[in-house]
Amino acid sequence: MGETTIEIAKAHPEADFIAIEVHGPGVGSLLNRIESEGLKNLRVVRHDAVEVLERMVGDGTLAALNLFFPDPWPKKRHHKRRLVQPAFVSLVARKLQGGGIVHAATDWPEYADQIDAVFSANASFVKSEGGFTSRPATKFEKRGRRLGNPVRDLVFVRRQGASP
Ligand SMILES: C[S@@+](CC[C@H](N)C(=O)[O-])C[C@H]1O[C@@H](n2cnc3c(N)ncnc32)[C@H](O)[C@@H]1O
């Protein structure tokens, strides 16, 4: 519903943020908060994140991408719907600046393994073993924690230079 996004944008007035979400009530809630807080560094796009990256974001322009609790699609036959796939990782590599950061978090261990494997397999990324992993907990995460779900944070740094 945007609580974490607001917190991050408030904590970093020096940066500009684009939040991408298709869930209407979440977008509405975030827009209300942006207005009530008077935030100037956060914009919201209600559209598919892949298309937004492909069509609205210039190559090599993003300093960072936060991917917090992407839908895990637990059933094996639905795994192909997961956002983090090799083609998505190549797209992200194209859009990030050299030195740019991807920070992903999930409470689904097997999806964490997939995220780890797919980013690690892309030569444009180097895994970071810490240092960038602080983030406020999302509402979704707080609920997961109450249910005892372990959360894994994964951070990758975009190498300098063009995508291989
Ligand atoms: C499991 S929820 C996590 C929400 C939030 N990040 C949190 O931690 O509370 C996943 C969210 O991703 C959104 N979503 C899934 N696929 C998307 C896509 N392709 N583009 C934009 N949003 C997407 C869903 O609408 C849903 O709100």
How many Å from the N-terminal Cα to the C-terminal Cα in the chain? Answer: 37
What CA dihedral angle connects 33, 37, 43 and 87, to 10 degrees? Answer: -60
- pLDDT tens digits, the chain, 164 residues: what are they? 888 899 999 999 999 999 999 999 999 999 999 999 999 999 999 999 999 999 999 999 999 999 999 999 999 999 999 999 999 999 999 999 999 999 999 989 999 999 999 999 999 999 998 655 577 777 777 777 788 878 899 999 999 987 76
Instruction: Return the structure tokens found at 79.
Output: 């795994």
Cβ atoms of 37 and 6 within 8 Å: the answer is: yes
pTM: 0.91
Q: Which domains does the chain have, with CATH numbers?
A: 1-47 (no CATH), 59-164 (3.40.50.150)
153 is catalytic: no
Tell me, in angstroms, the distance from the centre of ligand 1 to residue 68's CA.
8
Tell me, in angstroms, the distance from the centre of ligand 1 to residue 145's CA.
18
Instruction: Return the structure tokens found at 111.
Output: 């999806």
Residue 5's identity, in one-letter code, is: T
